[in-house]
Amino acid sequence: MPIVVLGLSHKTAPPEVRDRHAFPAQRVTEALGALRDYPGVREAAIVATCNRLEIYAEVADFETGVGEIKDFLTTYRAMRVEDFDKYLYTLLGADAVAQLLRVASGLDSMLIGEAEIMAQVKGALASAQAAGTMGSHLNRLFRTALRAGKRARTETSIGSDVVSLGAAAVELASRSVDLQGASAVVVGAGKMGTTVARHLAARGAGRIAIVNRTLARAQAIASEIGARALPFDALGEALANADLAITAVGSGAHLITAADIAAAMTARPGRCLLIVDIGVPHDVDPGARSIDGVDVLELADLRGIVDEHIGGRKAAVPAVEAIVDELSREFLRWYQSRAAVPLIARLRTRAERIRTNEIERLFASRPELDEAQRAAIVQASIGIINKLLHEPLTKLRETAASATQAGDSADALNKLVDLASMEEQIERQFSTSFAPPAR
């Protein structure tokens, strides 16, 4: 049962394609419920971020599983066939494992080493648990990925030179608009919108208006930085008076339409308006680009700004890659050793039968033993069996991992392991260790 990942990201798909397939966080659990109905998909989790959609799954077999995930995407997400051909990537086995660890470590982000991705991977784990699609294998993989992310940020400088997309958006805007004394509108009062508002205030923006559907959230930020909080129905008026607008919502709908902007520009003849849209999906109607006096920038335009600030992070990439490689190999060895599970169960069953038979013989030969003595003997016998099993079980796991790496099947593994010989050895050792004392 291989592990696979199907996805698209900022590396493979343009913004309009990522917008079309963006997964709102609140719908991930629902989507996993639909994916759970496919028989070839044993476990599944969805990592949906600003710049990626990835489905991690353990499947019954590669071709069937991938086919069912693609069917899910075409039906549940209405993904077009051309998106598969041009933008969707598929990774299998070790490559899929390494991909999740690279994502959690910040190596695969638009902003290298971003801190937010750790919370997003944790969220993907929680959503899959809530949907009932997170089994023991993906659970181990995701927790290994979180370990990789934590080690990357504590053992290397991948998280140094702190910069955020919100800060980069303000820096980009400052290269076109003189922020000192400028009138700015921030659309959205979430984490990103808050970052934008704080950076605008720190850069000396003259007047800042924060527009949000939940006015109380906008008011909390506004009171902190000395800005105005406005309800969403006041957005048109705010745009008519602004030199700059930065949007950071990404709700899945165009919160600012071309008609909204056209009306705002009519009310302010002769003035230009810069809009920086960092929402994913986009908050601004693409039609706004054709309106005279309006300049719309987006996430892709931030790359240059980000690159200027993350030299230290780039230097840490080889060290983070080494962590990813180490933990990927650790996970794969554990995953490959699962082939030994049926054999381990059989050996434990046989060992328990040996223990029970020997204990019954001992009790039959010592009827004078009271209940407390018998309970102590049973407990001691369990400890002896566990010690006797340690070496053969370790051998089983190592043999299974080696056999899987070599491509051997479960049947071949059965031939490699002499289970009968192990059973005989355990029986001799137990009988010797627990034989009734001579009268």
**What are the residues whose beta carbons fall under 8 Å from the beta carbon of 239, sequence distance 6 or more?**
185, 245, 256, 260, 261, 264, 273
**3-state SS, residue 295:** strand
Q: Hey, what are 156's tokens?
A: 């290397």
Q: Do the beta carbons of residue 105 and residue 148 sit within 8 Å?
A: yes
Q: Do the beta carbons of residue 313 and residue 105 sit within 8 Å?
A: no
Candidates 50, 184, 265, 296; catalytic one = 50
**3-state SS, residue 384:** helix
Q: Do the beta carbons of residue 193 and residue 218 sit within 8 Å?
A: no
Please give the radius of gyration of the chain, using alpha carbons only, rounded to the nearest integer: 30
H-state helical runs in 295-370: 303-309, 311-315, 317-336, 341-365
CB atoms within 10 A of CB 37: 9
Q: Please give the full DSSP string across 66-126, using - where no structure is assigned.
A: HHHHHHHHHHTS---HHHHHHH-EEEETHHHHHHHHHHHTTTTSSSTT-SHHHHHHHHHHH
Q: Which helix (H) or strand (E) holds 231?
A: strand 228-231
C-alpha 88/C-alpha 46 separation (Å) is 15
**What are the residues whose beta carbons fall under 8 Å from the beta carbon of 251, sequence distance 6 or more?**
24, 279, 281, 283
50 is catalytic: yes
C-alpha 70/C-alpha 72 separation (Å) is 5
Q: 28: which DSSP letter?
A: H
**3-state SS, residue 253:** coil
Q: Do the beta carbons of residue 100 and residue 141 sit within 8 Å?
A: yes
Please list the active-site residues.
50
